[in-house]
Amino acid sequence: MSSRVAVVTGAAGGIGAAICRRLAADGFTVACVDLREAGLADLTSELPAARGYAADLRDATSVGRAAASIRRDLGEPWLLVNAAGVFSIQLLPDLDEQEWDRVLDTNLKGPFLTCREFLPAMIEARDGCIVNIASTAGVRGGRRRAAYCASKGGLVLLTRSLAIDHGPDGVRVNCVCPGLIDTEMADWIRHDEPAMARFEAGTPTGRIGSPAEIAAAVAFLASADASYLQGAVVMADGGVTA
């Protein structure tokens, strides 16, 4: 196992890419995993300490192939960051089964598959770190996003369950719950000036968050300074849930 190899899923997205950049700057060799190959190529071209791996995180076979390639190229990773996620805004009566499955499979099944893939080596080495990117919606709920809230709430409790089960094995498992962050996922409000103004007025920090701020939280959880954090749910939301 290499203590300086990290796997980041959702690497081509706003938060995932920021995490890859921060971890590379901190000295990690980063395995960037995403289904969007063009985005991976752009990211890895700017990060010499990164390699891209295309995978559908909803599919166990695809995850297994990517994991085998990562092990072959970089060795067994010490850090896993599950940042892949999709968003959905719909009332439950309007939500079809395909959309429910898309959200739950990406946001919850994906982390289950990656954790199942990489945890055994961490347990064997009695050393490893997992950081899941959940959401404030997984703690407090939200309007018109039942599938999203269910998936992120499940990820919060998956985090805590893994921490209980595998903390004694030397594996630290924590999660970050971002609030509204300046990425494509925030387009539903970012281009609505009155709605954005209301959000900013009701937020203690008075502004939307940046992907780099979420990456900084991940970097802290992956550092030795966070050695006593286990099963922690870090609310990175500008104080909305305070």
Helix (H) or strand (E) holding 121: helix 110-125
Q: Kindly give, in sequence order, each residue whose CB lies less than 8 Å from that of residue 166, ignoring residues fewer than 6 positions away.
A: 119, 122, 123, 173
Whole-angstrom Cα distance, residue 222 to residue 216?
10
The one-letter code for the residue type at 140 is: R
Of residues 11, 25, 16, the one with CA closest to residue 55: 11
Computed from CA positions of residues 182, 178, 103, 37, in that sequence, does the dihedral angle turn out positive or negative? positive
Supply the residues annotated as catalytic.
148
